[in-house]
Amino acid sequence: MSTAPKRITYHKEAAELELGWADGTTHRLSAEFLRVHSPSAEVRGHGVGQEVLQIGKRYVTITGIEPTGRYAIKITFDDGHDSGLYDWAYLRKLGDNQETYWQTYLDRLSKVGASREPQFIQAKQL
């Protein structure tokens, strides 16, 4: 079990969650990054290869952050997504590997011809 961050701050204007860790490390994770890397079954699927690529989330914001015991937070996003618990170890992993995870996400979008833009979702539904 990982140690809880010493500080959790949501910067509404920037739509970024700032996590300050005991070792002095600070991570700023965008709402979009957190949304597309949600630990929920809706995003991760129920096994390897069942992940669901999240598209059109560029402007998603966080509308709520609730502690869950002493091990995690539950994040609610303005697109209605609110499942999945972000435990401390997962948040630390996301922060420490943010550049790699982000590039992998962008590569996956590109590979399937998808976009971060919300208009892309509407166009796909027409």
* The one-letter amino acid at 88: W
Determine, yes or no, domain membership for 105.
yes
Determine, yes or no, domain membership for 47.
yes
**Residue 122 has what pLDDT?**
53
**Residue 43 has what pLDDT?**
92
Q: Is residue 67 within a helix (H) or strand (E), and if so which, with residue range?
A: strand 62-68
Determine, yes or no, domain membership for 89.
yes
* Category of 13 on φ-ψ map: left (φ > 0), alpha (ψ -120 to 50) or beta: alpha
Question: Which has the minimum average pLDDT: 84-88, 89-93, 100-104, 115-119?
Answer: 115-119
Looking at per-residue pLDDT, the higher value among 120 and 17 belongs to 17
* The one-letter amino acid at 123: A
**Residue 119 has what pLDDT?**
80
Determine, yes or no, domain membership for 18.
yes
pLDDT of 125 higher than 80: no
Whole-model pTM: value is: 0.91
At residue 74, the 3 state secondary structure works out as strand
CATH number for the domain harbouring residue 62? 3.30.2020.30
Q: What is the total count of domains within the chain?
A: 1
Residue 21 is classified by DSSP as -
Determine, yes or no, domain membership for 113.
yes
User: pLDDT > 70: what percent of the chain?
Assistant: 94
Determine, yes or no, domain membership for 2.
no
CA–CA distance, 5 with 24 (Å, rounded to integer): 10
Give the domain extent around 54: 7-125
**Residue 121 has what pLDDT?**
58
Determine, yes or no, domain membership for 97.
yes
CA–CA distance, 110 with 115 (Å, rounded to integer): 7
